[in-house]
Amino acid sequence: MGRHKDIMYFSRTRYNTDVYRRLHNLKTQLYQAPATAPEDRLDDRERRVKAELADLPEITILQIIYQRKACEGHAKDYDFSGTSMRQHWQNAYKDMRRTLKRQDWLELPAPGAGIVVHDVHREADQ
């Protein structure tokens, strides 16, 4: 049951990030289509779309996915005991320290990069 929950929550986090990135990339492609056409050849709808998509932000997502501890069982998603919460806070603190050591992750993405995703547990030790 514990492993099932790990996969379920982990998959949902990755799925949401992937969908958001795909949508952002589609918006970028949608903007590029009328961006190359002369302004006088665009209709009102195309001008409106072009204006809406002209300032898409560059986004950095720092993905920190909870790492299961060997002593945890299937109740980890509803165990709010003092001991459990202190352990979660300590682990979160360690994850944030690891994250903040990577200054390159905190820099703004290059123009046109769209969405950049860093996975703290996959990339932190590189």
Instruction: Tell me the pLDDT tens digit for each residue of 55-108.
Output: 888 899 988 877 666 666 667 677 778 888 888 889 889 888 888 888 899 888
Give the pLDDT of residue 93: 92
Tell me how far apart the terminal alpha carbons of the chain are, to the nearest angstrom.
32
Q: Is residue 117 helix, strand or coil?
A: strand
Residue 115 has phi, psi (to 5 degrees) of: -110, 130
- CA-CA-CA-CA torsion for 94, 83, 10, 102, nearest 10 degrees? -10
Give the pLDDT of residue 53: 84
**Total domains, the chain:** 1
User: What would the mean pLDDT of 24-36 be, rounded to a whole number?
Assistant: 81
**pLDDT higher than threshold 80 for residue 121:** no
**pLDDT higher than threshold 60 for residue 47:** yes
CA atoms within 13 A on the CB side of 50: 15
The boundaries of the domain holding residue 34 are 2-123
Give which of 47, 53, 55, 51 is closest to 27, Cα–Cα. 53
Q: Are 24 and 55 in contact (CB under 8 A)?
A: no
Give the pLDDT of residue 91: 86
